[in-house]
Amino acid sequence: MLTVADVLALPVLAGGSPHVVAGHDRLDAPVRWAHVTEQADVAGLLDGGELLLSTGLGWRGAAFDARAFVTSLVEAGVAGLVVDVTEHLVALPPELVRAARAAALPLVELHRVVRFVEVTEQIHGRLLHDQYERLRFAEQVHSTFASLAAAATSTQEVLDRAAGLLGGPVVLEDLGHRAVAHAAGPHGAGLLVDWPRRSRREAANEGWLVVAAGPAGDRWARLIAPGPVAAPDGRLVLERAAEVLTVLRLLQGGTAGGDDLALRAHDDLVHDLLRARAVDETALRQRLRALGVSARGGYTAVAVVGAERAEVSRALAATRVPGVTGTVGDREGPVVGVLLVGAARTVEECLPRLAAALPGAATLATSDHVEQISATGPGFAEARHVAQVAAASPGRAPGQVHRTADLGVRGLLWRLRADARLAEFAELQLAPLLDRADDLALLRDYLEVGGSMTRLAGRLHLSRPAAYGRVERLSRRLGRDLEDPEVRLGLHLALLTEPTSPGSPGPAGSPGGGP
């Protein structure tokens, strides 16, 4: 937006030694066009927003009414009046100055000769350039948010992109003025301090840019850009962001109310941590505080299988340890993630209480305590895997806290899952059977009963000779002596490692995907 002050700073006008004699407080008035005139009755030709350029040629004589002239310009919405006093006027008429000051109309006198044609060329060129930039920016905004809507992205990603386009922070608040998500960027220090009170005060005074989210009659949140906005059209950015958030909310089955909004903000935070989408420690801690959770003391990622999120949230509330919940499930099924916040000892003491407060069918697993919230992503992945494997393992006891170490050799394989040599080992051991699901199942049954033909026959509902015959054929196919303990150990490790083996808990992640 080009203002009167911007125009006066243009080289062509700055060379005329401009002096502002009235309307100092209105130099931020937007300039829509520049118009050269010597007429005293020019107001009828104006649409508003014009900057008038004049030599005052038409103001001489007793018929000129300075007060009426200024009044007509103000009523027409003129941005300002610039007068060259080097040719037809020695000085501005005192009546004109008094009238302009009374009306707060920007009045500027030029003390050096300026070619008005050059002034209009520069102003109009700048205006056209700004208009092009606004159109280009609008296209960028539409393209950005259209792609976000198509990708069904997260709330945080929408806010991050909006903040990037605005060049300043963006806050999503519920209808009770509680900040549930935000994107602060490098200027976010103290952004959410005393937010509800500041939001009510600033919104009422129109000091911030505020856009409601949701259709009329079904508003569910507000998007706010606090402070100055660097973008050419900040309202457009917030409106498009609000539209995308509303679409995402509908796609995800959202309902009206702050609780629903807060749950989604919790989900977004946990998802971003799991997928390492957000790595800025300061920004992550601000997001956590925005959700009403302390960011002090360290962090522990926990996963729960076999319980609804609401059940986990109630159990968490009963432990009185700060934390947030979110879904961290994968292709193996739903999993609830819990980010516990607090000192390592405090969290360690609360974990058994949390596990005991869950439904009996639930399985809870935890990862190591870390000092940075941005480092919890691997912990969520590990806890999810441990919970899934533990839930499918025989002998699982309700109310138990599971860790990778509890998985025994499965835990070791999980730690080594990124080593390509482990996958190569499994491939070599099981190569003759990888396309034979029945043989893989027989091998697993044989190893799980410790090579006992009696137990194998009972498991398969066969006679001992029939079971023995099947194992003999399996041994020939493998080219291995299945009575050798070391051979059995290698094959068992391969079955635990190989994610393609039906039902094997290999390193890909679960009972059917691996430790």
- State the DSSP string of 159-226: HHHHHHHHTS-EEEE-TTS-EEEEE-GGG-TTTTTTHHHHHHHHHHTT-SEEEEESSTT---EEEEE-
Place of tokens 């050419």: 232
| Residue 18 pLDDT greater than 80, yes or no | yes
Q: Residues 192, 252: contact at Cβ < 8 Å?
A: no
| Residue 320 pLDDT greater than 70, yes or no | yes
Q: Residues 88, 120: contact at Cβ < 8 Å?
A: no
Q: Among 30-34, 76-80, 287-291, 482-486, which stretch is predicted with the lowest mean pLDDT?
A: 287-291
Model confidence over 233-258: pLDDT tens digits? 889 999 999 999 988 888 766 554 44
As a whole number of angstroms, the distance between CA 124 and CA 216 comes to: 39
Q: Which secondary structure element, helix H or strand E, spans residue 143, and what is its range?
A: helix 116-150
| Residue 187 pLDDT greater than 70, yes or no | no
Q: How many residues does the chain have?
A: 515
Q: What residues have CB less than 8 Å from 330, skipping those under 6 apart?
A: 384, 509, 510
Q: Which fold has domain 4-123?
A: 3.40.1390
The confidence band for 265, taking pLDDT boundaries of 50, 70 and 90, is: confident
- Of residues 500 and 77, more confidence is placed in 77
Most confident stretch, 52-66, 259-273, 426-440, 494-508 = 426-440
| Residue 157 pLDDT greater than 60, yes or no | yes
| Residue 329 pLDDT greater than 80, yes or no | no
Model confidence over 90-117: pLDDT tens digits? 889 999 999 999 999 999 999 999 899 9
Residue 205: the pLDDT is 62
DSSP state of 398: T
Mean pLDDT on 419-434? 89
As a whole number of angstroms, the distance between CA 96 and CA 110 comes to: 15
| Residue 514 pLDDT greater than 50, yes or no | no
The confidence band for 511, taking pLDDT boundaries of 50, 70 and 90, is: very low
DSSP string, 410-467: HHHHHHTTT-HHHHHHHHHHHGGGTT-HHHHHHHHHHHHTTT-HHHHHHHHT--HHHH
Dihedral sign for Cα 24, 56, 110, 35, please.
Answer: positive
Residue 331: the pLDDT is 63
- Of residues 218 and 312, more confidence is placed in 312
Per the structure block, which two tokens stand in for 261? 């909004």
Please write down the HEC assignment for all residues of 233-296: CHHHHHHHHHHHHHHHHHHCCCCCCHHHHHHHHHHHHHHHHHCCCCCCHHHHHHHHHHCCCCCC
The pairing of beta strand 221-225 with beta strand 323-327? unpaired
The confidence band for 353, taking pLDDT boundaries of 50, 70 and 90, is: very high
| Residue 298 pLDDT greater than 50, yes or no | yes
Q: Residues 170, 157: contact at Cβ < 8 Å?
A: no
Per the structure block, which two tokens stand in for 211? 């856009």
Residue 512: the pLDDT is 37
Assign domain 152-264 one CATH number from 3.40.630.10, 3.40.50.300, 3.30.450.40, 1.10.3720.10: 3.30.450.40
Cα separations (Å) of 211 from 242, 375, 466? 7, 34, 75
Phi/psi for 488 (5° steps) reads -65, -40
Residue 254: the pLDDT is 58
The pairing of beta strand 363-366 with beta strand 401-402? parallel
Q: Among 22-26, 80-84, 231-235, which stretch is predicted with the lowest mean pLDDT?
A: 231-235
Statement: the pTM of the whole predicted model exceeds 0.85: no
Per the structure block, which two tokens stand in for 111? 């003390």
Q: Among 10-24, 257-271, 327-341, 353-367, which stretch is predicted with the lowest mean pLDDT?
A: 257-271
CA dihedral 61, 64, 65, 70 (to 10 degrees): -130
Assign domain 413-497 one CATH number from 1.20.140.10, 3.40.1160.10, 3.30.1330.10, 1.10.10.2840: 1.10.10.2840
DSSP string, 326-365: EE--BTTB--EEEEEES-HHHHHHHHHHHHHHS-TT-EEE
Q: Residues 337, 345: contact at Cβ < 8 Å?
A: no
Task: Name the architecture of domain 293-407.
Answer: 2-Layer Sandwich (3.30)
As a whole number of angstroms, the distance between CA 180 and CA 86 comes to: 61
Name the H helices within 82-115: 94-103
As a whole number of angstroms, the distance between CA 278 and CA 276 comes to: 5
Q: Which secondary structure element, helix H or strand E, spans residue 82, and what is its range?
A: strand 80-84
- Proportion of the chain above pLDDT 70, given as a percent: 90
Q: Residue 174's closest CA among 279, 237, 258?
A: 258
Per the structure block, which two tokens stand in for 359? 């439904």
Strand partners, 33: 50
Domain residue ranges in the chain: 4-123, 152-264, 293-407, 413-497
As a whole number of angstroms, the distance between CA 14 and CA 122 comes to: 12
The confidence band for 259, taking pLDDT boundaries of 50, 70 and 90, is: low
- Proportion of the chain above pLDDT 90, given as a percent: 47
- Of residues 74 and 156, more confidence is placed in 74
The confidence band for 232, taking pLDDT boundaries of 50, 70 and 90, is: low
Mean pLDDT on 171-177? 88
The confidence band for 509, taking pLDDT boundaries of 50, 70 and 90, is: very low
Q: What's the burial of 445, exposed, middle or buried (CB within 10 Å: 0-12/13-18/19+)?
A: middle
Mean of per-residue pLDDT scores for the chain = 86
- Of residues 327 and 93, more confidence is placed in 93
The confidence band for 510, taking pLDDT boundaries of 50, 70 and 90, is: very low
Place of tokens 């995907």: 513
Strand partners, 204: none
